Structure 1
Amino acid sequence: MDTDAPLLGEPLPVELMNTVWADRDGVHDALRDRDGVRAWLRRVCARTDLLSPGDLDRLTTPDLDRLAHRLTGLRDALRRLAAEATGDPRPAAASDVRELDAAVAVLNEAAGDTPRWSVLTWTPGGAPSRHTRTSGQAASAAVSAIAEDAVTLFSQDARDQLRACFGPGCVLYFLKDHPRREWCSAGCGNRARSARHYRRHRGTTA
C-alpha cells in the first residue's frame, strides 16, 4: 500500500505537515489509520538512518496505534507552528492545536521521547563510520528525529523560507527554495493561473 500523502521532496518535518492534504473532495488525512501510518513511514524511511522496511514489518498493532498517536500529534503541532511562522490565514489548513505554547510543548516532548545517539566504528585496516543507536523502537526514534529536525527548522533562518501554498484549495506547506517559487507544486501553480485567467475572462464578459 502506498501513501496518499503528497511527497514533494521537502524536509521531513514539512512532509509530515503535508500528510494533511486536499483535493476536490475536501481535506484528507494520510495518517487516518494504521495502514496509512505504515505506508507513510515506509515511503520516508530511506531518508533516515534510524528506520528500515524490516523495522516497519515488525511493528505490532499496539505499536502502530502508539505511532499513529505520536505522528498525528506531532503533525498537528507542526502545522500550528507553520501557521504562526507564515501568517497562514487558510481556514481549511487550520490545525487542531490552537495554542502556540501547546504546539511547542508537543514538539519538545516528541523530540526527547526516544533517546538516540551516534557511535563510531573503526576496525584496524578499515575506514571509520558513523552509526545511530536508539534505546527504543526504530520507528519511535525516527519520529523523535523528525521532531528534532523541526526544532532546527523553526529555530533557524530556514523558518523564513517556509510558505503556505495558496493554490486553489491547497492546504500544504513548502520551503521556498528558489526566488521564483510561489506554489508547493507545478500542479498548484497551473490551477492558480487557470483560476486567475477564469476570473479575468469572467470579468471581461460581465
Structure 2
Amino acid sequence: MRKVKARVIEQPTLPPAQGEEEHISLALANSAIALPGGLTVDLLGTPAQANHWLTERGLAPVDAGMREMCATQLRSLREQIRSLFASRAAGLPALPAAVTAINDAMTRVPTAPLLQWDDKTGPYRSTPHPTTAIVDHALAALAADAADLLTSPDAERLTACGSTPCTRYLLRHGRRHWCSTRCGDRARAARAYARRSASQ
C-alpha cells in the first residue's frame, strides 16, 4: 500500500504588530490572521493551539490540558476585545456586551490572596490557582491588559492595519498604519496599481 503524504498548510509567521510585545491583549486580538484570497488562520483554532498560544505568553503551563470549552472562551474574549479596539480606533461607542465581557473576565478570579484555613497549621492566605482555574486567570490577565490599554495614553495610537484584507491592530508610530512590512508593501503596491489604472 502506497503512503500518501499529508499536505501541511503552514501558519504565517508575521512579526508582532507594533504594541503587541507591551500589550498581550493586542496579541490576542491579532491571533486570527486574515490572508489574501479570503483565507484566515486562527492561532487559537484548536485547544492545543490555544494552549500553545497561552504558554508562549506565560499564561498557562505546557501541560494545561486545554479543552475545547476553554479555547472557545479564549476566542470569545478575543472577539469582545476586537470589538472594543474597533470602537476605540473609530471613535464610536462600545457595545455594552463587550464591556461586560471584559469586566466579567477580570472579576472571575480573586485579585487578593484569600484567607485559607488548614486544620493542622491554622489560617494562611493564598491565591488559589488550581488547574481548572488556569484559563480563568489567563482570561483575567488578558481582559485587564485590554482595559489598561483602552484607558492609557496609548489608546490614542490604537488603529487597524491599513492594508486590506489584514484585520490586525497596532499602536501607530508616526504615519505608519501597517502591522508589518508585508502589509505595507501590499498597500503601496495596491496604491501604485490604482494610480496606473486611473491614468490609462
Q: What is the TM-score of this pair, normalised by structure 2? A: 0.74
In terms of mean alpha carbon deviation, does 191-200 or 21-30 score higher? 21-30
**Structure 2 residue corresponding to 1:25, chosen from 18, 22, 37:** 37
Which consecutive residues of structure 2, in runs of 5 or more, have no partner in the other structure? Answer: 1-9, 114-125
Percent identity, please: 30
Distance in 1 between residues matched to 2:188 and 2:12, nearest whole Å: 25
Q: Does residue 45 of structure 2 align to residue 37 of structure 1?
A: no
Pair 1:33–1:82, CA change in 2 (3 A) = same
Structure ranking higher in helix proportion: 1
Given that 2:34 and 2:166 are in contact with CA atoms closer than 8 Å, whether structure 1 keeps it comes out as yes
Given that 1:5 and 1:21 are in contact with CA atoms closer than 8 Å, whether structure 2 keeps it comes out as no
Pair 1:186–1:134, CA change in 2 (3 A) = farther
Given that 1:21 and 1:170 are in contact with CA atoms closer than 8 Å, whether structure 2 keeps it comes out as yes
SS in structure 2 opposite 1:174? strand
The answer for the alignment partner of 2:186 in structure 1 is 191
Q: Give the 5 Å matches for 1:110-189.
A: 110-117=105-112, 133-136=127-130, 137-176=133-172, 178-189=173-184
Pair 1:196–1:134, CA change in 2 (3 A) = farther
Q: What is the TM-score of this pair, normalised by structure 1? A: 0.72
Task: List structure 1 segments (4+ residues) > 4 angstroms apart after TM superposition.
Answer: 2-7
Report how many aligned residue pairs link the two structures. 171
Distance in 2 between residues matched to 1:151 and 1:112, nearest whole Å: 12
Given that 1:31 and 1:37 are in contact with CA atoms closer than 8 Å, whether structure 2 keeps it comes out as yes
The amino acid of 2:167's aligned partner reads V
Which consecutive residues of structure 1, in runs of 5 or more, have no partner in the other structure? Answer: 90-98, 119-131
Q: Identify the structure with bigger relative contact order (alpha carbons < 8 Å, sequence gap 6+).
A: 2
Distance in 2 between residues matched to 1:147 and 1:159, nearest whole Å: 15
Distance in 1 between residues matched to 2:77 and 2:145, nearest whole Å: 12
RMSD: 2.7
Given that 2:28 and 2:78 are in contact with CA atoms closer than 8 Å, whether structure 1 keeps it comes out as yes
The answer for the alignment partner of 1:122 in structure 2 is none
The answer for the alignment partner of 1:93 in structure 2 is none
Given that 2:157 and 2:171 are in contact with CA atoms closer than 8 Å, whether structure 1 keeps it comes out as yes
Larger-Rg structure: 2
